[in-house]
Amino acid sequence: LPIYDNYFKKTDTISPVEKDGTYTYDITVKPYSMVTVSTLKLEEKDYPAPDESERTVLPLPYEDDFEYADYDSDYLSSRGYAPRYTADEAGAFEVENIEGNNVLVQKITPELRANEWGGTFNTASTNFGDDAWSNYSISASVKLEDAEDNFAGVGLRYNLGSNIESGYWLRVGTNGKWYLNRNDRPVKSGELEDFDGTAWNDLKVEANENIIRAYLNGELLCEYDGGSDEKTPTAQLSAGRAALFSEYHRNMFDNIKIEPIEGADTNIVRLDNTDDEFEYTGDWSHSTMDSFKNYKRTASTGGEGCEVSVKFFGKGIALTGYGKRRVGAVFSAELDGEVLDERVQCKVEGNRECVYTVYGLEEGEHTLTIKVIEGELTLDSAEISDTYEIKQMKSQAILEAEQQAAAQAEKESAKGKSPSKSKTSKAIPIAIGAAAAAGIAAAVAVRAKKKKK
Higher pLDDT, residue 315 or 10: 315
Task: Of 328, 336, 341, give the one whose Cα is nearest residue 309.
Answer: 336
- Mean pLDDT on 419-435: 43
Name the helix (H) or strand (E) containing 315.
none
What pLDDT is stored for residue 411 in this prediction? 80
What was the pLDDT predicted at 2? Answer: 52
Instruction: Give the Cα separation of 381 and 26 in Å (integer).
Output: 37
End-to-end CA gap in the chain: 43
- Cα separation, 394 vs 221, whole angstroms: 38
Count the alpha carbons within 13 Å of 51 in the hemisphere toward its beta carbon.
Answer: 4
The residues facing 77 across adjacent strands are none
Q: What is the pLDDT of residue 13?
A: 85
This prediction has a pTM of: 0.78
For residue 355, give every residue at least 6 positions away whose Cβ sits within 8 Å of its Cβ, in sequence order, or none: 235, 319, 320, 321, 346, 348, 370, 377, 379
In the prediction, which pLDDT does 409 show? 76
Higher pLDDT, 36 or 192: 192
pLDDT at 327 (0 to 100): 61
Greater model confidence, 34 or 51? 34
* Confidence category of residue 19, pLDDT binned at 50, 70, 90: confident
Amino acid 254: pLDDT: 98
**pLDDT of 280 higher than 60:** yes
| Residues with Cβ within 8 Å of residue 37, at least 6 apart in sequence | 14, 25, 27
Confidence of residue 4 (pLDDT cuts 50, 70, 90): low
> Would you state the pLDDT for residue 105?
98
The values of phi and psi at residue 22, to 5°, are: -115, 155
- The β-bridge relationship of strands 17-19 and 219-225 is unpaired
Report the alpha-carbon distance of residue 273 to residue 351 in Å, rounded: 14
Q: Are 143 and 150 in contact (CB under 8 A)?
A: no
Query: In this predicted model, which residue has the larger pLDDT, 133 or 413?
Result: 133
What mean pLDDT is predicted for residues 272-300?
94
User: Does residue 47 register a pLDDT over 50?
Assistant: yes
Task: Report pLDDT for 441.
Answer: 27
**Phi and psi of 129, rounded to 5°?**
105, -140
Is a pLDDT exceeding 70 seen at residue 393? no
pLDDT of residue 202: 98
Residue closest to 391 by CA, chosen among 27, 53, 8, 25: 53
Contact between 141 and 185 under an 8 Å Cβ cutoff? The reply is no
> What's the one-letter identity of residue 234?
T
Find all residues with CB under 8 Å of 404, minimum gap 6, and list them.
none
- Tallying the residues shown for the chain, one arrives at 453
Q: Beta strand pairing status for 17-19 and 101-106?
A: unpaired
| Nearest to 298, CA basis, from 198, 432, 424 | 432
Segment 140-160, tens digit of pLDDT: 999 999 999 999 999 999 999
pLDDT tens digits for 236-270?
A: 999 999 999 999 999 999 999 999 999 999 999 99
- Nearest to residue 200, comparing CAs of 123, 124, 101, 122? 101
The predicted structure's pLDDT at residue 358? 94
Give per-residue pLDDT as tens, 72-110.
999 999 999 999 999 999 999 999 999 999 999 999 999
**pLDDT over 70 (residue 422):** no
Measured CA to CA, the distance from residue 131 to residue 340 in angstroms comes to 28
* Cα atoms in the Cβ-side hemisphere of radius 13 Å centred on 168: 36
Give the tens place of pLDDT for each residue, 356-371.
Answer: 999 999 999 999 999 9
Q: How many CB atoms sit inside 10 A of residue 26's CB?
A: 8
pLDDT at 419: 52
Is pLDDT of 49 > 90?
no
For residue 126, pLDDT over 90 is answered with yes
For the beta carbon of residue 143, count every other beta carbon within 10 angstroms. Answer: 19
pLDDT band at 303 (very low <50, low <70, confident <90, very high): very high
Q: How far apart are CA 205 and CA 101, in angstroms?
A: 25
Buried b / exposed e over 227-266, threshold 16 CB at 10 Å, is: bebeeeebbbbbbbbbbbbbbbbbbbbbebbbbbbeebbb
